Amino acid sequence: MKRILATAALAVDPANADLTAYGIRNTTVDTPFTLDASFGGKLPLTLDTADVPSPEARIFTNALVTVNTTAAATVRDMIENPSPWRGTGYVSRVIEVPDATVGTVTFALESRFKGTCLLIR
């Protein structure tokens, strides 16, 4: 069992196929994370986009964490929606990508380009 003591910054590295596909992998146990109470029950994931240019694709995904299917419901409640591309016109949401052949679920951040919004008050 992993104990999260600090925020986990997951580097965005398009060249790392394993990271892109799976994010943090913990697929061998039914309870993959125990959270420190100071996190309020949320898995403190952020995406490190330093030195990564804004994406050119209209829709793209970044894997966050892959867990055993039996742990998916618990982990789903732990994940907040990180927003790594602020100010670039992208809106992001967490999606689930199940793989029934190996019994895992990958939580990924799907980002879609919505364009720049101008609010006039």
Residue range 48-57: average pLDDT?
67
Residue range 41-48: average pLDDT?
76
Mean pLDDT of the chain: 78
Confidence band for 4, pLDDT divided at 50, 70 and 90: very low
Confidence band for 5, pLDDT divided at 50, 70 and 90: very low
| pLDDT at 99 (0 to 100) | 94
Residue pLDDT, tens place only, 55-113 = 666 777 888 889 999 999 988 988 887 776 666 677 888 999 999 999 999 999 888 88
**Which among 103, 102, 90, 99 is positioned nearest to 47, based on CA atoms?**
90
Its sign, for the CA torsion 23, 29, 31, 34, is negative
Q: Which segment, 6-10, 31-35, 54-58, 69-73, is predicted with the most confidence on average? A: 69-73
**Which among 59, 66, 27 is positioned nearest to 45, based on CA atoms?**
66
Task: Tell me if 96 sits within 8 A of 106, measured CB to CB.
Answer: yes
CA angle in degrees (0–180, nearest 5) for 20-43-89: 55
The bridge status of strand 2-4 relative to strand 45-48 is unpaired
